Amino acid sequence: MVCPGVGKTALAVHAAHLLKDRFPDRQLFIDLHAYTPGQDPMLPEAALAGLLTAVGVDARYLPPDLEGRAVLWRDRMVGQRVLLVLDNAASSDQVTPLLPRGGGFLVLVTSRKHLGDLPGSVVPVLLDALPPDKAREMFLRLVPSAATAPEKAVEELVRLTGYLPLAIWLLARVYARHPAWTLADLIGETRASMLTLTAEGDNVAAAFDVSYRYLSPGRQQFFRRLGLHPGTTIDAYAAAALVGLPLRQAYGHLDALHGEGLLTEVGYRRYGMHDLIRRYAQDLAATDSEVDRSQGLEHLLDYYQHTAAICEALLARRIRTSPAAAAATSPPAAVPDLSDRPQALAWARAERVSLIACLEYATRSGQHARVTAFAAAIASLLRQDGPWTDAITIHTTAVQAARHLGDRLDQANALNNLGDARLATGDYRGAAEVLEEALSIYRDLGNQLGVASALNDLGVVRLATGDYPGGTEALEEALGICRDLGERLGVANALNYLGSARRLTGDYPGAAQALEEAVDIYRDLGDRAGEAEALNEVGTLHRVQGDLDLAEASHRQSLALAREIGSSWNEGHALAGLGRCARAAGRTADAEPDLRQAWEIFQRSGAAEAAGVAAELDALTNPGPTASM
């Protein structure tokens, strides 16, 4: 067992920094949360999802199971020189699926446990507290002014820290902050703290207590409140809501606590805590009244729910079937500037872990209305970034919460989101089942927008399973409803899929008309992802009609848009379309690189389209009878 506070993470990060030039392709860090208070150890499936998305895999196409993700991860790392830091590991079972195969990589694993059964060539480095002379050297390096102090005083101080680097570092900061103190004063403060503490790692906790004791009462309260946060990072807006302070004061407290060494800056103006400090803050928070704790958490949940709903309204590419979830909560005093889609997406991605942590807290505490609201407010983020398996779990939880409340509209909305997530994973039967249920509820409630939304997704499911008449019927009904209600995004979505349906059934003029109108609406709405998707379908339509010049022009427009907005799915389809056009024109040399790039994109993201494109690449070198594509 390696003791906490000994400097495992700091050593690993320092070593990684020194070695990074030897591994130019990738340097990756992931916290596995083995001992993070309030957090379960990260499942290897979730860790692989984070690693795969970090190296460019579209999260929508992640394999649903551990083995599939591990295989994809190993495949992506082949031939690359990679440095990977796996921090705070719980067990070998958690770490083993994350290890690449072959040569060219180095993995640094930190853990409080000895992981003796890891595969491959393992060099264990067992850390202990510092030797007394090294502990003394560390303190004097951090506080050069202490060099003139009596040697025995320095020795006594580092002895009280248990020679743990984290405790030495914190006490050095305290001493530097109080120039009027002598080392005897600091020693006395540390001894007094140790007499009152019984937490794990008394020496480290004593250092925390010395740092905490000399904060102002307001800053002490602020620090205690941070211990209530369900997630692992926080910014000033969330902190202001949690503590009930103006934004400017929250900024000041966060900066000050960072200066004291009680917070770490994990991103621009975003802060986290060492696991032991988080536990210390939680213990302190438990001494406050239950009313104060509950009120702070309620305000924090209100903030996240309200702000996430604002983002959802900007990110949604689906019909909104009910008012924003934020309408049911107390609007926070301050929220970030979220006036456009890029800002909303950046905020949602930065707060993703916190939002899911709040949803899980609401689930554990039986706050069913919050569960449905949070799930609805992150639906578009999950739809865009995945993993879709996570989306299925979250929306299933929301369905159950809505049923418990007897709220049929929220139940239908959650079922609709669940159907969309199942559709994305290729579970057409499961998607059809929940979408039919959602459709039935929407019809009972007379919610026409909901009816149109469910019909649109059902239409796509039916097309995917070869039921062209059924798919066309559903899409045409959705289109009619959206036209009647003036819901232009719904009109564009239905027209886009109707274009596919009509092309598949040979109605090329009808397909062209539908797609032309869809492109126009997407452009008017500024929905560039929708425009890119529709342009790819336009290109496919031109190609099957034999107009290869127009087909290539449409695919190139889509490709430019996809690269501009970072949509790998649309980029892959545009490249595949260009390769098919070149192949149809007999330009094999031009077709091969475009199809290969498309295959690489689909293969990296685990998309089913990869197999089809691979077959087309094989056909370029082994030509046979030309098949219709």
Q: C-alpha distances in angstroms, 563 versus 13, 44, 537, 573?
A: 33, 31, 17, 12
Count of Cβ atoms closer than 10 Å to residue 119 Cβ: 10
- pLDDT mean over 466-482: 96
Percent of the chain residues topping a pLDDT of 70: 92
- pLDDT mean over 377-389: 84
The whole-angstrom separation of Cα 103 and Cα 91 is 23
Which one has a higher pLDDT value, 489 or 317? 489
Judged against a pLDDT cut of 70, whether residue 218 lies above it is answered with yes
- pLDDT mean over 333-340: 89
Which one has a higher pLDDT value, 553 or 603? 553
Least confident of 81-95, 291-305, 425-439, 489-503: 81-95
- pLDDT mean over 143-154: 88
What pLDDT is attached to residue 554? 97
Q: Label residue 575 by pLDDT band (50, 70, 90).
A: very high
Which one has a higher pLDDT value, 38 or 451? 451
What pLDDT is attached to residue 286? 92
What pLDDT is attached to residue 591? 92
Q: Label residue 324 by pLDDT band (50, 70, 90).
A: very low
Contact 435, 454 (CB under 8 A): yes
Least confident of 205-219, 302-316, 431-445, 497-511: 205-219
What pLDDT is attached to residue 4? 55
Q: Label residue 326 by pLDDT band (50, 70, 90).
A: very low
What pLDDT is attached to residue 607? 58
Q: Label residue 505 by pLDDT band (50, 70, 90).
A: very high
Which one has a higher pLDDT value, 436 or 63? 436
Count of alpha carbons within 13 angstroms of residue 476, beta-carbon side: 10
* Phi, then psi, of 523 in degrees rounded to 5: -65, -40
Judged against a pLDDT cut of 90, whether residue 376 lies above it is answered with yes
Residue that is written with structure tokens 């295959």 in the block? 599
Q: Label residue 260 by pLDDT band (50, 70, 90).
A: confident
Judged against a pLDDT cut of 70, whether residue 428 lies above it is answered with yes
The closest alpha carbon to 577, from 542, 545, 627, belongs to 542
Judged against a pLDDT cut of 70, whether residue 626 lies above it is answered with no
Judged against a pLDDT cut of 80, whether residue 272 lies above it is answered with yes
**Of 90-94, 171-175, 402-406, where does the model show the most confidence?**
402-406
Percent of the chain residues topping a pLDDT of 90: 48
- pLDDT mean over 237-262: 92
What pLDDT is attached to residue 194? 58
Judged against a pLDDT cut of 80, whether residue 627 lies above it is answered with no
Judged against a pLDDT cut of 50, whether residue 399 lies above it is answered with yes
What pLDDT is attached to residue 1? 41
Mean pLDDT, the chain, integer? 87
**Of 305-309, 328-332, 337-341, where does the model show the most confidence?**
305-309
Least confident of 159-163, 570-574, 600-604: 600-604
Q: Which residues contact 201 (CB under 8 A, 6 or more apart)?
A: 3, 4, 5, 162, 164, 276
Judged against a pLDDT cut of 70, whether residue 413 lies above it is answered with yes
What pLDDT is attached to residue 104? 79
What pLDDT is attached to residue 351? 94
What pLDDT is attached to residue 605? 55
Count of Cβ atoms closer than 10 Å to residue 51 Cβ: 21
DSSP state at residue 406: T
DSSP 170-203: HHHHHHHH-TT--HHHHHHHHHHHHHH--SSSHH
Contact 412, 428 (CB under 8 A): no
Total-model pTM = 0.78
Judged against a pLDDT cut of 50, whether residue 522 lies above it is answered with yes
Per 3-state DSSP, what percentage of the chain is helix, strand, and coil (rounded to 5)? 70, 5, 25
Judged against a pLDDT cut of 50, whether residue 328 lies above it is answered with no
Which one has a higher pLDDT value, 317 or 460? 460
Contact 608, 559 (CB under 8 A): no
Contact 117, 92 (CB under 8 A): yes
The closest alpha carbon to 161, from 215, 197, 110, 126, belongs to 197
Q: What is the pLDDT of residues 105-131, one digit of tens each?
A: 889 998 877 777 787 777 877 766 788
Amino acid identity at 427: D
